[in-house]
Amino acid sequence: MKKVAIVMGSDSDLPVVEKAFGVLDELGVPYEVHVFSAHRTPMETKAFSSHAKMNGFGAIIAAAGMAAHLAGAIAANTVLPVIGIPVKSGPLGGMDALLSTCMMPPGIPVATVGVDGAKNAAYLAAQILAVEDDELTGKLMRTRAEAAANVIEKDRKLSEKYNRE
Binding site for ligand RP5 (CB under 6 A): 9-10, 12-13, 37, 64-66, 87, 89
Helices 134-162 and 14-27, interaxial angle, to 10°?
110
CB 145, min distance to ligand RP5, A: 35
CB 47, min distance to ligand RP5, A: 18
Cα–Cα nearest to 45, from 8, 98, 83 = 8
Of the two residues 23 and 63, which places its CB atom closer to ligand RP5 in the complex? 63
Do residues 94 and 87 lie in contact, with contact meaning Cβ atoms separated by under 8 Å? yes
CB 72, min distance to ligand RP5, A: 13
Contacts of 57 (CB under 8 A, 6+ apart): 2, 3, 4, 5, 32, 80
Of the two residues 78 and 101, which places its CB atom closer to ligand RP5 in the complex? 101
CA dihedral 111, 128, 48, 14 (to 10 degrees): 70
Of the two residues 13 and 98, which places its CB atom closer to ligand RP5 in the complex? 13
CB 64, min distance to ligand RP5, A: 4
| Residue 25 identity (one-letter amino acid) | D
Of the two residues 16 and 59, which places its CB atom closer to ligand RP5 in the complex? 16
